[in-house]
Structure 1
Amino acid sequence: MTNRSDDDVLEIDEIDRRILEILANDPRSPYADISDELAEYDIELSSEGVRRRVTTLLENMTSFFLPRPERNSWEIVLITVSTATGPNSKRDTFEAMSEMDFWFVAEGFGTIDLYGIATAKSNPEINDLLVRLQALDSVTEVEHFIETDRAVNIRNYLPVYE
């Protein structure tokens, strides 16, 4: 488990959350438009103030560009992997997955060892990826989930510190 001090915690307040909500709906919103939308919630912030907050938020986050499944002809698949208990099994599998068609691979701890997200043109393409994963000596189990719809509630994404 990563040890983090209180200084490492990204503190999001209600203004930041509103800005993230606006950007989630339209990532290209001009700062002046964001300022106007914030005013609808009785938040007075200049476009320069919005720019500073957006800059700080982006410095502390990674971008996730997830295409909406209902608007595209490709599939988004989440694949989870359990690995053997060998000394390098998890690391070897992580490195192998990083070289495959995944655009996101994560290692952690819990009921699975690794997960990856891939975009595929078809279910047979997903099947090919699954077969390649199952062929790895260090892999003991592979599960997958094909996304067909999504609801995003940015208000539940990060805790608000007041």
Structure 2
Amino acid sequence: MSDLEAQPVLFIPDVHFGNLQRAGQVFTFNTEEIEREGSVLVKRMFRPSDEDRCPSPHKQIKEETHKRVLLYVRKEMDEVFDALMLKSPTLRGLMDAISEKYGLATERIAKVYKKSKKGILVNMDDNIIEHYSNEDTFILNIESYAEAYKITLMEI
């Protein structure tokens, strides 16, 4: 039995209807607009006005603050590592963390170097420190000369 004269009607099963509700795409039916055309009942869908809709919560923009970096350092003769929490991944943040942990005046830290596994000695800068990952490990060497400190971090 084929009904070739009836208007086709879109069927939305409950499974899909639930997804539409979660996505905020629910259409409501206005009962005043239900019409009868011949023997077919036609429903017109409309979007609710701005007054009827609940305002969607505004997305909160998360400020991209400097990420904190945790480094493990130990002096060459020590067995146990100390944790240095860099509040910002910058040379200044590293100097502040070393100063706080080892009781050095930040102003007296003259140079900070990094010695790679290949033995290459590099002047530290913000760019190098930005690329450190949490829990990177180093051997810390603090040398005192002429009322200043030279700090070398050797990769392990």
Q: TM-score, normalised by structure 1?
A: 0.21
Which entry has the higher C-alpha Rg, 1 or 2?
A: 2
Q: TM-score, normalised by structure 2?
A: 0.21
> Which structure carries more helix by proportion?
1
More relative contact order, 1 or 2 (CA 8 Å, 6+ apart): 1
